[in-house]
Structure 1
Amino acid sequence: MAATGSGPGVAERLAGRHVLLTGVTGFVGEALLRLLLVEVPDVRVSVLVRPKGSTSAAARVATLLGKPVFSPAVEVAGGVEPLLAARVGVVAGDLSDVPALPDDLDAVVHCAGDVSFDPPVDAAFTTNVVGTRDLLARLREAEERGDGRAVHYVHVSTAYVSGRRSGTVPEGPVAHDVDLEAELAWGLAQRGELERRSRDADRLEAQRRRAEREHGRAGLLTAAAASEAARRQWVKDELVRVGSERARSLGWTDCYTFTKALGERVVEQHARTHPVSVVRPSIIESALASPHPGWIEGFKMAEPLILAYGRGELPEFPAAADTIVDIVPVDHVVATLVAVLAHPPAAGEPAWFHVSSGHRNPLTFRRLYEHVRAYFEAHPFQAGSRGASPLPDWRFPGASAVERLLTTSERAHRVAESVVGRAPRSDRTRDLARRLEQQKQRLEFLRRYLDLYQEYAQADLRFSDERTTALRLSLSAADQERFAFDTAAVDWRVYVEQIHCPAVTAPIRRLDEIRARRARSTPARAGGLRPVPAAEGAGAPGVAAFFDMDGTLLSSNVVETYLWMRLQELSAGERAGELGRVLGRVPGLLRAERRQRGDFLRAVYRDYEGADRAALDRVADELLTDHVLARLSPEAARRIREHRRAGHRTVLITGAVRPLTRPLAPLFDHVEAVDLVVDDRGRCTGHLVSSPLVGESRAAFMQAWAAEHDVDLTASYAYADSHSDLPLLAAVGNPVAVRPDVPLYRHARRQGWSIVDWASPASAGRSLNPAGGRR
């Protein structure tokens, strides 16, 4: 039978004490604040919280206390405001600029910190080292202003500060000889160093050329923006990479555990003259019992992997089957913190506590896998109409085998992406692009999480928790029940299958059901596009809809529409010759179109030289109207009419010559098309009145037109099919990609733009001579 302590209980020891908490907007901090307010009724709490945007720190805390988990304390106090007034003080500030602290504190619990496993190196040092140092400096200042009593400082760290060692890890300081000041100076300097390196001419040239190859058709400014985005992403990625590599070179798993270990060094210096406790949880997951089983805020370490496995998207994991995965419920962590708060050590005698399960109640990766699999076998995710998602069968082949499998898949995906990117536009190509995009997301997910967790999955560690066990046994029987943190009592089958997995999958299942209901209620023809709200109605000012023509409204292209117009003026023999001549130029025209669409259009329209301009209008009116309208997508026509009924301005922007737009003109309030220069005889010269609107010039036209007609582009719509139309689509608040080419499809998917499939009429022919014989 477990021994129990005597003397004052936890609540009695903390009665009348003033405790400062950091990190209360995070998972552990929130749980700790709740436990103190509910179970320790006579403790007074101050919280260090930063303002966020226009929301004050006090307002953020009031919102936090309005959550259901705080309702017992709120009800006792008579509301959130009375609770704030009586028991919760708000100190507005941040670890990047720690404000003055109250001078009557009895204890501080530092829960805040960068908890990402792959933070930028400068951010990790700033939060986990500099923030801790500054907080302790402000604490000493508060002590001097007060009555001189030393304040008990409780530092929340992580069990994994032990680094890449193996075997049993004792509850005590980590042995290492790293130069704290040198590493701190290096880490904080990395952003400036990498920003400087990112502007190296050779690197900039390579990024610019790559961006121009990918985005040049949309415009050089679009390419420049992509180049600059690539530079910034390189800096961001390098800040993560150099931090990880430096950490591993010194014996830690990642930058997170490295900087947390250096943060402990700062705490050890403070502990020479002050009472200090260091609490090191292992992997913190959902609550076992309090405030209710499965309570969790956000995704932690295991959740993305559990969800991916349930979706059938995690084929293997680089762990040995018998390796321990050390999980602790969050209520055990905060109960330990409260017990530690109530039992401060003497100044100069710091105490370390592991909150872990692997030493006395080990859970191996194989057992975890079996429990997760059992849960999803009983409660599978549904893969649409295909039924339950298939569950991967893990064999635990080892990290090297998993890495080879992932590397091979990544290489095959890059080859497939390259092939599809060069394939002609078609429904099949888009479907392949969609599937490749989904596969890319899965591979990126796997790469990120396998790289991130591989060290933890192979860590042969057992965290001794003898001091934590002794603390628990020193409590009364009532306190051992109220502040429960015996991890040996956790039944892992019950916890994983009946508590944790149901909790982490519940919000995903709700989202799936919402999506399913939306899909059932959305008309098939809408293709997922949000309908124009009826409330906008006729007379709603300031909204326009901009439409591209070729490939968007009509299943046509510039070369084809040129032939529609020009062949009508020629004899049968001349037609054959002209058709042969144009077909011979197609390869060169396609190369020009890939390089610069404006030059391509000029090259095509050179062939109008000598054409009678008035005759082109007659051809369009008399011979091509029925043909053009027959090629108009029915979905496109309906969408244009919806906009007109809603009172929106409709604008056609096309690279086609103006005569060809005449059949569509009644649908639009404004038509912006290519105008041909004519001589004094009314004959076309082969030149254009002004540069054709392509790429960025389309966006510039839209902005000028919108300003002139008092149109709000952020509320407006645009429809286009080509990657060259990125600026047009990006200029509005409601962009829609219509049967897009592969580059536009990929961009639209990444940006979350609407993608629709406006099919051509089944009766539309592909004849280059739709009007038949000569006029």
Structure 2
Amino acid sequence: MNAAFAQGAPTHVPPLLDGRLKDLLAGKKIVMTGVTGFIGEQILWKILTELPDTRAVVLVRPKGSVSAEQRVVSLLKKPIFKELASAVGGAQELLDQRVDVLSGDLPNVPELPRDLDVVIHCAGDVSFDPPIDSAFKTNVLGTQALMEAIRVACSDEQGTLVRVPHYVHISTAYTAGRRRGAIPEAAHEHDVDYRVETEQALAMGKLVEEQSRTAEMLATLRKQAEREHRQAGFLTTAHDTERRRQEWVKAKLVEAGTERARSLGWTDVYTFAKAMGERVVVDLGKDFKVSIVRPAIVESSLVHPYPGWIEGFKMADPIILAYGKGQLKEFPASPDAALDIVPCDHVVNAIIAACATEPTIGEPEFYHCSTGARNPMTFREIYEYIREYFAQHPYTRSDGTVAPLATWKFPGEQPVQRFLDVAGKAHGVGDRLVSWAPRGKYTRQAALALDKQGKQLDFLRRYLSLYGEYLQSQLHFVDDCTMALHNSLHPEDREAFAFDTSAVDWRTYMMEIHTPSITDPVRRLEALRNRRGKRSSTFKELKPAEPGTVLAVFDLDGTVMDTNVVETYLWARLPGLSPVGRVRELAEVAAALPGYLGADRRDRASFLRSMYRRYAGMEMSRLESYVDEQMAPFVKDRLSPEALARIEEHRAAGHTTVLLTGVIRPLTRPLEDLFDVIVAAELATDAHGVCTGFLTSPPMVGESRSAWLRHYAELHGIDLSKSFAYADSHVDLPMLTTVGNPVAVQPDVGLLRAARKNGWSVVDWHADRSIHRWKLPRRAEQTAR
């Protein structure tokens, strides 16, 4: 034991156990909240496994169309309940025999059973950085509503308490806030009024929401959205504006919560709201039997239900995984600071033991479930354990290389913060450059590298912001009462219900139990993805469908065909001009190109209209003949073999193939055999069949494509959720989101990021050209002005 954390004789002796837990809790009805959470799930498992004569009543919130009972049945189908469920015939039978379900939520608590004996409240917002109003609604108002419901259930019609409940509140050891040194198992001394803080937290939520809706803020957010999504259309921009508004509200409320918490002496709004929740318990539980259990950082189980049992990533786990992947070059923790980790089964066992005690009415008992006092593990020790583990079990990347392990020197917070500041500025410059770079393989590679770097920087920033003070911890939690409770366990309960954290061998736990438990599932998942290949499920093997029920929609330029509207215009225009005319036309196009590019970035429809003005004076009939006789080989030469193969696969499967393009109709004539439907730009002509340079209708770009798809689907009974779409540009985002199987083909940076965010397939289709890029069709005098 570390001398600095030596424990003396307990100043307070808690109520002790005087028999087997299964006997002490036999015939008792235990009401639980948070049963679908990490700790709650194992508490229920423990009750069903070790307390055969105890009835569990679980408060569960319905989720969408899934009822509370259905959620509990799904819970009981999880692996840890398999043996229990099999013994009685299944999950539903286990529910019927041992568990009652209450449908409700916090703070909307339903009527509780009037014969309840114990209430375990372990539901709550466990995020370290929730919005301040959300934190108080869950951890303060939720606790208040539950205790008021308990009082009603245990009172007669006149409101007199006729049955004294035992209320067991699961809090956190870090309600101690920014204190240092030894933290006793007692109520924390402060004069903060939970009623005032709750009222102000809710008011802050309303205030920030109102601020987000001011004209100035909406204009700022709209302009940000337009810079990214203007090409795609106004509705896409509007959707993104609202997303940004909601994110701004959340960020401001998180910031407000953090600052309010720290101004009062807590590390974050989570611990602040939890501390206020404890005050609610003490205030409203003056005539209850009350136990408050304060776990430290709960991680995977040591023994039960099996070593390494865990669900989800907890506080330390992303750090461990990032280090193993070679993504964490340094860490701003104090090497001799203790990270107070406690195995989940120790916490659960302590909670069950507390349920079996008989606290004095109106005198809350406090229990710390922690390791820092009796069995501390420092950050340097953790680093050494995980480094040794990954040296023995290296993390292999998808390309087969082994991730290098960094050597941490623990430089402190300031050097790491300076690195983040410099790296963040460099990342911003790189991101702006890549957004303006020409589309291509190397641009996409650069964008992916920047995105990876950005995630790593965000990860470090988040940990510095959320856990900075935990990384420099200078406190430890006295656990004398918890140990006294443990030592009063009946000898026959010592194995099943042990929670003496001084018995944990950290090297064994970190290297043989915890680290494998969080890394092995990730390794298996990534190995499965590698076996499946890089394509995600949206580029799936095609199955036959009833004809006319599924669409396969293709963009043209950059997707099916390796060309663009400027190039095809020059194909049509230049061969019909004299040498001098060609030079003049090329010069005019080159001079106009910057304007075209600017228009394309602002509004693709405007760009297309500007480009198609140059067709003015061409005779439509001669242009069509010229395309059929001279340009067709050039068009077909630029078609991607992979695209052609995919189109044929769709046709063989009975899908309706559609070409949706902003290219003018005559240029699509060589493709008519490939598609069942072609929607293209229609050039307007005068009474003599001469192109005016205008279109008969707006170009089919951006949201126009998604609108056309929905209308066509409605008219023809198409199932868009089973349909496919292929495109290469961020401007096609609305079309791609309209179908169930979107595929990004050689995407630009904007679409690449959207595809990765949404899990869409990204494929590369290339044309195998036999005609040189700069070769033109034969001279065609008939198309000249």
Q: Does 1:285 align with 2:303?
A: no
Shift of 1:768: 5.5
Shift of 1:103: 1.0
Aligned to 1:464: 478
Aligned to 1:266: 280
Q: Does 1:677 align with 2:684?
A: yes
Aligned to 1:736: 743
Query: CA contact under 8 A between 1:276 and 1:350: conserved in structure 2?
Result: yes
Shift of 1:760: 2.0
Aligned to 1:385: 399
Q: Does 1:535 align with 2:543?
A: yes
- Residue by residue over 1:174-202, the C-alpha shift from the partner in whole angstroms, topping out at 9 and shown as x without a partner, is 11111211100011222221111001111
Query: CA contact under 8 A between 1:288 and 1:329: conserved in structure 2?
Result: yes
- Residues 230 and 85 of structure 1, relative CA distance in 2, 3 Å threshold: closer
Decide which moves more: 178-187 or 38-47: 38-47
The structure 2 residue matched to 1:238, chosen from 252, 259, 283, is 252
In structure 2, give the amino acid aligned to 1:462: H
In structure 1, give the amino acid aligned to 2:192: V
Aligned to 1:692: 699
Shift of 1:157: 0.5
Output aligned runs, 1:635-650, within 5 Å: 635-650=642-657
Query: CA contact under 8 A between 1:628 and 1:663: conserved in structure 2?
Result: yes
- Residues 7 and 607 of structure 1, relative CA distance in 2, 3 Å threshold: closer
Structure 2: any 5+ residue segments left out of the alignment? 1-8
The structure 1 residue matched to 2:181, chosen from 157, 167, 170, is 167
TM-score scaled by length of structure 2: 0.94
In structure 1, give the amino acid aligned to 2:238: A
Aligned to 1:397: 411
Decide which moves more: 738-747 or 106-115: 738-747
Query: CA contact under 8 A between 2:166 and 2:290: conserved in structure 1?
Result: yes
Aligned to 1:358: 372
Aligned to 1:64: 75
In structure 2, give the amino acid aligned to 1:585: A
Query: Distance in 2 between the 1:228 and 1:380 partners?
Result: 44
Identical amino acids, percent of aligned pairs: 51
Query: Distance in 2 between the 1:394 and 1:231 partners?
Result: 39
- Residue by residue over 1:535-568, the C-alpha shift from the partner in whole angstroms, topping out at 9 and shown as x without a partner, is 325x443111121112222221111111111123
Shift of 1:343: 1.4
Output aligned runs, 1:566-605, within 5 Å: 566-605=573-612
Q: Does 1:255 align with 2:269?
A: yes
The structure 1 residue matched to 2:556, chosen from 549, 561, 564, is 549
- Residues 508 and 624 of structure 1, relative CA distance in 2, 3 Å threshold: same
Shift of 1:367: 0.3
Shift of 1:324: 0.5
Shift of 1:7: 4.3
Output aligned runs, 1:103-252, within 5 Å: 103-145=114-156, 148-252=162-266
Decide which moves more: 204-213 or 415-424: 204-213
Shift of 1:141: 1.0
The structure 2 residue matched to 1:451, chosen from 465, 472, 477, is 465
Query: CA contact under 8 A between 2:57 and 2:102: conserved in structure 1?
Result: yes
Query: Distance in 2 between the 1:242 and 1:6 partners?
Result: 44
Q: Does 1:296 align with 2:290?
A: no
Q: Does 1:651 align with 2:658?
A: yes
Query: Distance in 2 between the 1:762 and 1:139 partners?
Result: 77
Aligned to 1:42: 53
In structure 2, give the amino acid aligned to 1:594: R
List 4+ stretches of structure 1 deviating above 6 A. 2-6
The structure 2 residue matched to 1:619, chosen from 619, 626, 645, is 626
Query: CA contact under 8 A between 2:233 and 2:702: conserved in structure 1?
Result: yes
Query: Distance in 1 between the 2:27 and 2:412 partners?
Result: 54
Query: Distance in 2 between the 1:255 and 1:206 partners?
Result: 28
In structure 2, give the amino acid aligned to 1:300: K
Shift of 1:622: 0.9
Query: Distance in 1 between the 2:538 and 2:138 partners?
Result: 42
The structure 2 residue matched to 1:482, chosen from 496, 511, 516, is 496
Decide which moves more: 484-493 or 450-459: 450-459
Query: Distance in 1 between the 2:649 and 2:167 partners?
Result: 65
Alignment partner of 1:21: what SS? strand
Shift of 1:58: 2.1
Aligned to 1:406: 420
Q: Does 1:496 align with 2:496?
A: no
The structure 1 residue matched to 2:442, chosen from 411, 428, 439, is 428
Q: Does 1:27 align with 2:41?
A: no
What RMSD over aligned residues (CA atoms) do the two structures have, in Å?
Answer: 2.1
Shift of 1:445: 2.2
Decide which moves more: 503-512 or 63-72: 63-72
Shift of 1:82: 4.5
Query: Distance in 2 between the 1:246 and 1:375 partners?
Result: 40
Query: Distance in 2 between the 1:528 and 1:277 partners?
Result: 50
Query: Distance in 2 between the 1:412 and 1:439 partners?
Result: 11
Query: Distance in 2 between the 1:727 and 1:419 partners?
Result: 25
- Residue by residue over 1:642-685, the C-alpha shift from the partner in whole angstroms, topping out at 9 and shown as x without a partner, is 11111111111222221111111111111112222222322222
Shift of 1:236: 1.7
Query: Distance in 2 between the 1:427 and 1:65 partners?
Result: 49
Query: CA contact under 8 A between 2:140 and 2:273: conserved in structure 1?
Result: yes
- Residues 150 and 772 of structure 1, relative CA distance in 2, 3 Å threshold: same
Aligned to 2:709: 702
In structure 1, give the amino acid aligned to 2:436: R
Aligned to 1:757: 764
Query: Distance in 2 between the 1:710 and 1:286 partners?
Result: 51
Shift of 1:703: 2.1
Shift of 1:424: 1.3
- Residue by residue over 1:402-425, the C-alpha shift from the partner in whole angstroms, topping out at 9 and shown as x without a partner, is 111122211111110001111111
Shift of 1:134: 0.9
- Residues 637 and 83 of structure 1, relative CA distance in 2, 3 Å threshold: closer
Q: Number of aligned pairs?
A: 767
Aligned to 2:6: none
- Residues 5 and 438 of structure 1, relative CA distance in 2, 3 Å threshold: closer
- Residues 635 and 529 of structure 1, relative CA distance in 2, 3 Å threshold: farther
Aligned to 1:724: 731
Shift of 1:249: 1.1
- Residue by residue over 1:37-67, the C-alpha shift from the partner in whole angstroms, topping out at 9 and shown as x without a partner, is 2122222222212222222222222232233
Query: CA contact under 8 A between 2:727 and 2:743: conserved in structure 1?
Result: yes
Structure 1: any 5+ residue segments left out of the alignment? none
- Residue by residue over 1:317-363, the C-alpha shift from the partner in whole angstroms, topping out at 9 and shown as x without a partner, is 22100001001111111111111111121102211110110101110
In structure 1, give the amino acid aligned to 2:557: D
Decide which moves more: 695-704 or 123-132: 695-704
Shift of 1:625: 0.8
Q: Does 1:440 align with 2:454?
A: yes
Shift of 1:12: 2.0
Aligned to 1:417: 431
Query: Distance in 2 between the 1:707 and 1:75 partners?
Result: 48
Query: Distance in 2 between the 1:446 and 1:350 partners?
Result: 39
Query: Distance in 1 between the 2:593 and 2:369 partners?
Result: 71
- Residues 615 and 510 of structure 1, relative CA distance in 2, 3 Å threshold: same
Query: Distance in 2 between the 1:549 and 1:64 partners?
Result: 48
Q: Does 1:714 align with 2:721?
A: yes
Query: CA contact under 8 A between 1:21 and 1:109: conserved in structure 2?
Result: yes
Shift of 1:531: 5.2
TM-score scaled by length of structure 1: 0.95
Aligned to 2:5: none
Shift of 1:528: 5.4
Query: CA contact under 8 A between 1:568 and 1:619: conserved in structure 2?
Result: no
Q: Does 1:337 align with 2:363?
A: no
